[in-house]
Structure 1
Amino acid sequence: MRELKRVLVTGGAGFVGLTLCERLLAEGAHVLSVDDLSTSAPGAESTLTRRPGYRFVHHDISTPLHPSWLAGGFDTVFHLASPASPVDYLRLPIHTLRAGAFGTATALDIAERCGARLVLTSTSEVYGDPAEHPQNEMYWGNVNPIGVRSVYDEAKRFAEALTFAYRRARSTDTGVARIFNTYGPRMRPDDGRMVPTFCRQALRGEPITVTGDGLQTRSLCYVDDTVAGLIALARSDYPGPVNIGNPDELTVLATAELIRELAGSRSPIEHVAESPDDPQRRCPEITVAAEHLGWRPRVPYREGLAQTVSWFRAHIGAMRAV
């Protein structure tokens, strides 16, 4: 098993990135976190600053890092930098595409130079609105290449293509993870994704807004499980792609009802118009992850969502300022 001792995390102040950095530090790694803070929660960059072995650099990974930041090299590079929620990537469309193209190239160049293993966090969005169910890694997807969501979908599809090109042409050590919807504490209440939106609305007693009839399905993976999958991929030799997600489907409406129950809320559920190109079914086949990484999610929905609701409840004062 590979040891992760000197690690670069791009997007390290993001929701998943911050939890990943925290886990790596707990396991004794030295971590350089790079983030431009364009979609991070306020103060995220300072959350781990007092932890031994941690360093944060405010920088856009789409441009090369200063050589002094790379002194000592790395054995592992996690490339997470990218807007991930529709609210953010629709607000930052060109930035999102640049992160997928130039940012991935920068991360790959660093990994190649250091002889490090690069783990790319791709996304289930590469499957688009899938015509196959559940989605396995051999499925090529059903993506609208010029739709409003394409800035994220195609950025990640290009990032995967570039990563495999480096592997084939330059023998760069790489692994590609396709992350399905991830949730948990520290999500921004205004990031537009389903779980934080429902938590915020339920705790404030506002209508819980469900798009369409709410019968579209999602795969929700607790953040600790997602991070465990990324680390397992980093420690392996497997090139991917590999799905990292929860194979238990949950409808959007059922998610809203469960969060309302856990919050002890009386918020009504209000149906609103669907978003363009919103996928109707999303569920991973995780046989590859189980066989090659020994990974599968462990946190059940009720437990993970209860912890998430509790975190949002504790931060309700800050939420009121959003």
Structure 2
Amino acid sequence: MSIASSRKKILVTGAGGFIAHHLTTRLKEMGCWVRAADIKQPEYEATHADEFMQVDLRDRVNCAAAVEGMDEVYHLAADMGGIGYISQSHAEITLNNTLIDVGMVDAAHKAGVSRFLYSSSACVYPQFLQHDANVVALKEEDAFPAAPEEGYGLEKLYTEKLCQYFTEDFGMATRVVRFHNVYGPLGTYDGGREKAPAAISRKIAKVLDGDMIDIWGDGEQTRSFMYIDDCVEGLVRIMKSDYSLPLNLGTDELVTINQLVDIVAEAAGKRIRKSHDTTRPQGVRGRNSDNTRLRDVLGWEPKIDLRTGIVPTYTWIAEQLSALDKGSAQSAYLLAAVAAPSR
């Protein structure tokens, strides 16, 4: 018997992205044999997977190949990003994620995987429950009657139900996780798909002490933010559990975006002035996770507070930007040297 066949074989989709890359590393540390699949390789660090399939999971042939021989599937692949992207790309996001999710759920069922975990989102919750910055924390049952975020949230809610139907009709063991704003090192921090902690960290890292940064909205919109280590721990625990209905996975530490800016500035050791742009997308007015059911099911919930988690996050982003600046300066020097006339 080979080493691979003697260990649990796990597929992680979306492993070229932030959360799934960290999850792959954790599963390897647990001794699992891991196949990773995504349309792209991880951007900031080489994968730790035993096998990386660089494939487009919108193609059902690729979905079938990815799940072949696997015991469990953590399905995290998705077309997603920050509020600026998901609020302006409804058709593209809905089409891409429908193709990916339907193909993966069906392929996992046909391959006979023992457990299938689907990564959903807090965007499934009704917009009418999130009009107040002092939002009441969202319970899992609040998803219905439905009025989710257009595009991204609607497709996520649909696929949650698809997982339920595959469990009810075919006995396929599914787990559904509703993420609430995950942040940490090795995550996207520029380009339009980054989330608020990364975007704010980037902005503060690029300015001097006492400078001003722009904030989308008036800054009084509220969110909760979960550090990546807690997210990965929660995923592993939920997969191992016997609970098949959707579960929130997030912290219940509610902060305003203005407070988030202050926390990042504190980590950076800078005084920052804020300029608010109310013409930019800002999403729902308030969103927070109710962790009652998570505690009941797992006897656990995320524990890393925002002030603690933002320090390694900001530090990593600042280091990335510093390295880019040094690279640009070196390239400019070399170009100037080449262009200089000989004597």
TM-score of the aligned structures, taking structure 2 as reference length: 0.82
Are the equivalent residues in 1 in contact too, given 2:15–2:42 (CA < 8 A)?
A: no
Per-residue displacement from partner, 1:214-244 (whole Å, max 9, x unpaired)? Answer: 1211010001101111111111121121000
Residue identity matched to 1:159: T
Measure, in 2, the Cα distance between the counterparts of 1:99 and 1:29.
29
Measure, in 2, the Cα distance between the counterparts of 1:142 and 1:304.
34
Q: Of 112, 115, 128, which residue of structure 1 is paired with 2:113?
A: 115
184-193 or 230-239, larger mean C-alpha shift: 184-193
Alignment CA distance shift 1:81-1:4 (3 Å): farther
Per-residue displacement from partner, 1:176-207 (whole Å, max 9, x unpaired)? Answer: 11110110001111134211111111111163
Residue identity matched to 1:126: V
Q: State the shift of 1:110 in Å.
A: 2.9
Partner of 1:154: 154
Partner of 2:189: 189
Greater Rg over alpha carbons, structure: 2
Measure, in 1, the Cα distance between the counterparts of 2:312 and 2:167.
39
Q: Does 1:58 align with 2:54?
A: yes
Measure, in 2, the Cα distance between the counterparts of 1:143 and 1:214.
27
109-118 or 155-164, larger mean C-alpha shift: 109-118
Q: Of 97, 101, 114, which residue of structure 2 is paired with 1:100?
A: 97
Q: Of 241, 247, 251, which residue of structure 1 is paired with 2:252?
A: 247
Q: Does 1:199 align with 2:197?
A: no
Q: State the shift of 1:294 in Å.
A: 2.4
Q: Does 1:35 align with 2:38?
A: yes
Are the equivalent residues in 1 in contact too, given 2:214–2:276 (CA < 8 A)?
A: yes
Alignment CA distance shift 1:200-1:165 (3 Å): same
Q: Of 304, 307, 310, which residue of structure 2 is paired with 1:302?
A: 307
Residue identity matched to 2:140: E
Measure, in 2, the Cα distance between the counterparts of 1:164 and 1:103.
17
Q: Which structure 2 residues correspond to residues 8-47 of structure 1 after superposition, within 5 A?
A: 8-37=11-40, 42=43, 47=46
Partner of 2:333: none
Alignment coverage as a number of residue pairs? 309
Are the equivalent residues in 1 in contact too, given 2:58–2:100 (CA < 8 A)?
A: yes
Measure, in 1, the Cα distance between the counterparts of 2:104 and 2:66.
13
Per-residue displacement from partner, 1:235-259 (whole Å, max 9, x unpaired)? Answer: 1121121000001111110000110
Structure 1: 5+ residue runs without aligned partners? none
Measure, in 1, the Cα distance between the counterparts of 2:136 and 2:271.
34
Alignment CA distance shift 1:172-1:4 (3 Å): farther
Q: Match of 1:121, SS?
A: strand
Q: Which structure 2 residues correspond to residues 116-155 of structure 1 after superposition, within 5 A?
A: 116-131=114-129, 133-140=136-143, 150-155=150-155
Measure, in 2, the Cα distance between the counterparts of 1:104 and 1:280.
29
Measure, in 2, the Cα distance between the counterparts of 1:70 and 1:182.
26
Are the equivalent residues in 1 in contact too, given 2:126–2:142 (CA < 8 A)?
A: no
Q: Match of 1:160, SS?
A: helix
Are the equivalent residues in 2 in contact too, given 1:125–1:153 (CA < 8 A)?
A: yes
Alignment CA distance shift 1:20-1:290 (3 Å): same
Residue identity matched to 2:112: C
Residue identity matched to 1:176: V
Percent sequence identity is 26
Are the equivalent residues in 2 in contact too, given 1:207–1:268 (CA < 8 A)?
A: yes
Q: Match of 2:103, SS?
A: helix
Are the equivalent residues in 2 in contact too, given 1:13–1:35 (CA < 8 A)?
A: yes
Partner of 1:257: 262
Alignment CA distance shift 1:192-1:301 (3 Å): same
Partner of 1:173: 173
Q: Match of 2:56, SS?
A: coil
Measure, in 2, the Cα distance between the counterparts of 1:301 and 1:275.
25
Q: Match of 2:251, SS?
A: coil
Measure, in 1, the Cα distance between the counterparts of 2:284 and 2:146.
10
194-203 or 89-98, larger mean C-alpha shift: 89-98
Are the equivalent residues in 2 in contact too, given 1:210–1:272 (CA < 8 A)?
A: yes
Measure, in 1, the Cα distance between the counterparts of 2:60 and 2:224.
35
Are the equivalent residues in 2 in contact too, given 1:221–1:246 (CA < 8 A)?
A: yes
Q: Match of 1:104, SS?
A: helix
Measure, in 2, the Cα distance between the counterparts of 1:104 and 1:41.
21
Per-residue displacement from partner, 1:2-57 (whole Å, max 9, x unpaired)? Answer: x98211111111111101111001101111111113xx76355xx12xx4x52111
Are the equivalent residues in 2 in contact too, given 1:189–1:319 (CA < 8 A)?
A: no
Are the equivalent residues in 1 in contact too, given 2:11–2:66 (CA < 8 A)?
A: no
Partner of 1:77: 73
Alignment CA distance shift 1:96-1:63 (3 Å): same
Are the equivalent residues in 2 in contact too, given 1:77–1:111 (CA < 8 A)?
A: yes
Q: Match of 1:315, SS?
A: helix
Structure 2: 5+ residue runs without aligned partners? 1-5, 130-134, 329-343
Measure, in 1, the Cα distance between the counterparts of 2:7 and 2:288.
30
